[in-house]
Amino acid sequence: MAIDVESKRASETPMKLDSTVVKAIAIDLGFDWAGIAPAVSPPGYPRFLEWLEADRHAGMDYMERLAAARVHPENVLEGVRSIVVVALVYGGGGESENADPRFGKTARYARGIDYHQVFWKRLDVLLERIRAIDPSVRGRSACDTAPLLERDFAALAGLGWIGKNTMMISKKLGSFTLLGGLLLDLELEPDARHETNHCGTCTRCLDACPTSAFDGAYRLDANRCISYWTIEHRGTIAEEFADRLDGWLFGCDICQDVCPWNRKAPRGKTPELSAGDEWVNVDLIELLEADDEAISRRLRGTAFKRAKRSGLLRNAALILGTRGVVEAIPALAARTLDRDPVVREAAVWAIERIESVDPQPQ
């Protein structure tokens, strides 16, 4: 039975602060799901250390730097007793991709405004409402920026299981979900842990990866992942992968697009995360032709700023070169004089690739 949070807040009888109330407040704030996890060492921590030791984190040195802090949420909030885990569904799944080779693809989660801003705002209000009931409660919001294994705590809170593609999957919400958490020094009754893995014998996600980033179930090698190369990697992309971005300007959704659990997953209902037309299909030539002010304006307030100007222009050049888009040569030629050596190198590579397929008249 749903709780009328506003009515209870207005009631003369003090509201008892328990798990049911806290989750009801979270849902009232617009989260698609909320659960309570105990503040314990995450069960996947040993596997995380093995992943690091195998050098599967590629150039994400911050993962190794903060590895010890992830052993327990106490390192995020001293005295933590419970974690309110929340999820937001993103992307409608109905946005059509432009088949024109001059257009690049982008990951669904990034097509709206920066999701961190959405989570922080709502989690801050969630903490305020909790403190309105009990002012002694201390808390801290977390959304990717704290050393917390969010997927482990989402599983502990009952959302779903970590699939073979290492993504959190929910039977009700699918895997196109973003996770956040509110750490509290308040003892709350935790939800039942999700114990069952529903991937079964399916290997669609593993088989679909165009760069073979998975060498087995639950074994992701970031060194071979398109999302890593297009978002996290700084500098020149290795020759082995320069022509294997598969049209992705930023991120990659392939292993989620093929997941059967996403076939009937609900559409995102958070307006801020709705896809903006300019980021569903990106005109790569237009991007290369844009000046710095236009690029900066376009990145402002979005997750795309993670790749920075350098990464996006680099990726655009590599995709156009791989696809042999002849009409991109003027824009690429201009970028061979770019102030950024990474962009210059990508532009030269792209022109050479195009001309090797379609030699220009002498």
Catalytic center residues: 144
pLDDT tens-digit readout, 260-298: 999 999 999 999 998 877 888 999 999 999 999 999 999
Whether the CB-CB separation of 2 and 24 falls below 8 Å is answered with yes
Predicted pLDDT of residue 4: 60
Predicted pLDDT of residue 171: 97
Predicted pLDDT of residue 361: 47
Confidence band for 136, pLDDT divided at 50, 70 and 90: very high
- The C-alpha atoms of residue 357 and residue 336 are separated, in whole angstroms, by 19
pLDDT tens-digit readout, 216-248: 999 999 999 999 999 999 999 999 999 999 999
- The C-alpha atoms of residue 93 and residue 90 are separated, in whole angstroms, by 9
Joined together, the tokens standing for residue 324 give 């042999």
Predicted pLDDT of residue 157: 98
Whether the CB-CB separation of 83 and 181 falls below 8 Å is answered with yes
The pLDDT of residue 192 is above 50: yes
Predicted pLDDT of residue 1: 44
Amino acid letter at 26? Answer: A
Q: How far is CA 157 from CA 117, 143, 153, 189, 250, in A?
A: 23, 16, 6, 10, 30
Residue with tokens 């001293």: 78
